[in-house]
Amino acid sequence: EFRVVARGGVRRGIRLERAFWASLKHMAESRKCTIGMLVEEIAEHHPDQGNLTSAIRVACMRGLAEESMELRKLASIRTINAILVACPSPAFALSSSKKILAFNTPFQQLVRRQLPSAPGEDGRQDLKLALDLNVTDIFARLDANGETPVTSGFVIGAGERRYRGQLSAVRAPVAEPELLMAFVFNG
């Protein structure tokens, strides 16, 4: 796709693939400048190289790589743990295989309060979690409803004791593994 980019009285005819124009536009918007200003900056940093389009492609790829690295830092289990710790109500992260991968102190206190251990019992080795909705169905509803939180009942059991409650579930902001963040709202 051929475009003319003007900046400071200089007009440049540039042929780039549409994806690179989109990347340049995104970079310019995030820097609050014009595409022309960005192209001028790239040209100034590569004055010896005659191929400006190549320099633009490299700048686009570097920009995307930097953005990807920043997003990877945000989309991590560490971030999920930080969100759970910051939440004042009981909350936990649940894998698609229904395994609790992380939880916060209020959730731990809820379990201890509602399902106290008998003297001599070994903690919560027999703790079970059941949701009224299948985890796969929750992910499907999140997909269908634009990530609007899904409400579900749940039961936590230990031995013969049970605790029933309600939770609101959202998709955790991580690429892998697929996780739900569940927030108990009547605990």
* CATH number of residue 92's parent domain: 3.30.450
Q: Which one of 59, 74, 89 terminates a domain?
A: 74
Supply the CATH number for residue 35's domain.
Answer: 1.10.3990.20
Q: Which one of 30, 46, 74 terminates a domain?
A: 74
Where do the H-state alpha helices sit in the chain?
18-31, 35-45, 52-74, 77-86, 105-114, 135-144
CA 162, 178, 181, 91 dihedral sign is: positive
Q: Are residues 18 and 59 in the same domain?
A: yes
Q: Are residues 68 and 127 in the same domain?
A: no
Nearest-angstrom CA–CA distance, 5 and 48: 20
Tens of pLDDT along 82-129?
999 999 999 999 999 889 999 999 999 999 999 887 666 655 567 889
Tens of pLDDT along 123-169?
556 788 999 999 999 999 999 998 899 999 999 998 888 999 999 99
Q: Which helix (H) or strand (E) holds 5?
A: strand 2-7
Domain count for the chain: 2
Angle at 100 between CA 86 and CA 150, to 5 degrees: 70
